Structure 1
Amino acid sequence: MSKSKSHNVFISHHGKDDDKVQALKHRLNDRGYTIRNYSVDSTKHKDGRRPSDAVIQRHLRRQITWAGTFICLIGKDTHTRKWVNYEIRKAYLQGKKIVGIFTHGNNNVELPEAFKKYGGPTMGWNSIDKLGEIMADKKFPVENPDGSQRTPIYTMAKVKCNK
C-alpha cells in the first residue's frame, strides 16, 4: 500500500494507556496512514509541572480543533477520566467524527458517559482498516469489540437553528 494523505487525529485516552496510543500510531503508519496526533501523549511531555485546569482546557480545545477525526481509546478505566469526557464533549461541539476503539483485551468495559451521549462507532483493536476508512470519509461502521455489527446506543441528528 502506498502512503495515503495525512490524517489529523486527536487520540483521547487514560494516561496509563499511553503505550496503546503509541501502538495505534505505529499500526496505522504500518498500514500506510500518515498520522498527525494532536492529543497529549508521552512524546509531548514537558518539565513535569501541571498547568491549571483553565490552561489545560484551552490547550485541549485548540488541539481538538486541528483534528479531523477524534479517536477515544477505550480501556478498563477510561470511563473514570474527567478529561476524556471533557475532550469528547468538545469534539462533539466542534462537529468532529468521534470513534471509539477498544484497547486489546478490553471487550467488556464501560464507555465514558460523554461517549454514550455523543460518540459514534466503536470497534475492536484489530479494526485498523475500518478506522482508515472512517478517517478517509468512506465508511462509518458501528461494531462491537469483536468486530460484529452493533446497533448504535443513541441516534442523534444535529439541527442548525437560524437566529
Structure 2
Amino acid sequence: MARRVFYSFHYKEDNWRAAQVRNMGVVEGNAPVTDNEWESITRGGDQAIRNWIDEQLNGKSCTIVLIGTHTAGRKWINYEIEKSWNDGKGLLGIYIHNLQDREGRQSSKGSNPFDGFTMKRDGAKLSSIVKAYDPPYSVSTDVYAYIKRNLAAWVEEAIAIREKY
C-alpha cells in the first residue's frame, strides 16, 4: 500500500512542476486544488488557510516539500514544515528546479527551506536532520525518472528519521 503524503510547494511558481511529481503514482498525495478553489480558500484569511492545511495533513505520514526557486521562507510552507514536524510526520525535500514548467523552462535552484528552522533541544538546524534531495541531472526527463525511481524509498527514510526524534 502506498504511503499517504502531503505535498508542500509554492503554488504560483511551481504548480506545473509539482503536478509532475504528484502524478507519478509512487505515493498517494493530497488532492490538487484548482486555482479557483485556492483563491476561495485564501479569501477566507489566515485561519481558513491554516484549517485547510491542517485538514490536508490529517492522515498523512510524510510531508514532501517540493523546492523551487522561491520556496524557502514562504509563510505557508514554513507553517506546513513546522506543523508536519511537530505532528511527528516524516519530512523531506526534493529540488524541482530542473523539471520543466509548462513552457519547457527550468528555473534556478532555491535555498533549502529547512535551514530556517532550529531544533529547540540542541540548536541544530532542521536541515541537518531532514534530507533535501537534489537530483544529479540537468535534463528534465532524467530528473523526473530519478525522482520517480527514488521517491518511495525517500519517504520511508524520512519516516524512519522522524521516528528517531
Match of 2:112?
Answer: 111
Q: Work out whether residues 17 and 75 of structure 1, in 8 Å CA contact, stay in contact via their aligned partners in 2.
A: yes
Q: For residue 76 of structure 1, give the secondary structure of its aligned residue in structure 2.
A: coil
CA distance in 1, matches of 2:108, 2:38: 35
Cα-to-partner distance string for 1:21-61 (whole Å, 9 max, x where unaligned): 210022x22xxx252325xx444742833211012112212
**Runs (4+) of structure 1 moved beyond 6 Å?**
none
CA distance in 2, matches of 1:47, 1:76: 21
CA distance in 2, matches of 1:7, 1:44: 26
The within-5 A match list for 1:137-156 is 137=156, 139-140=157-158
What is the count of residue pairs matched by the alignment?
Answer: 132
Structure 2 counterpart of 1:20, from 6, 17, 21: 17
CA distance in 2, matches of 1:23, 1:11: 12
- In the TM superposition, what is the alpha-carbon distance from 1:72 to its structure 2 partner? 0.2
Match of 1:127?
Answer: 147
TM-score by length of 1: 0.67
Q: Write 1 or 2 for the structure with the bigger share of helix.
A: 2
Q: For residue 7 of structure 2, give the secondary structure of its aligned residue in structure 1.
A: strand
Go from structure 1 to structure 2 and tell me whether the alpha carbon gap of 1:91 and 1:45 turns closer, same or farther (over 3 Å shift).
farther
Go from structure 1 to structure 2 and tell me whether the alpha carbon gap of 1:34 and 1:92 turns closer, same or farther (over 3 Å shift).
closer
CA distance in 2, matches of 1:52, 1:81: 16
- In the TM superposition, what is the alpha-carbon distance from 1:80 to its structure 2 partner? 3.5
Q: Work out whether residues 65 and 94 of structure 1, in 8 Å CA contact, stay in contact via their aligned partners in 2.
A: no
Q: CA RMSD in A?
A: 2.9
Pair 1:11 & 2:2 matched:
no
Tell me the percent identity. Answer: 25
Q: Which moved more, 1:82-91 or 1:122-131?
A: 122-131
Cα-to-partner distance string for 1:53-109 (whole Å, 9 max, x where unaligned): 012112212221221110001110001411001100000001111010000426742
Q: Work out whether residues 18 and 42 of structure 1, in 8 Å CA contact, stay in contact via their aligned partners in 2.
A: no
User: Which runs of 5 or more residues in structure 1 are unaligned?
Assistant: 141-156, 159-163
TM-score by length of 2: 0.66
Instruction: Return the letter of the residue paired with 2:154.
Output: I
CA distance in 1, matches of 2:64, 2:38: 26
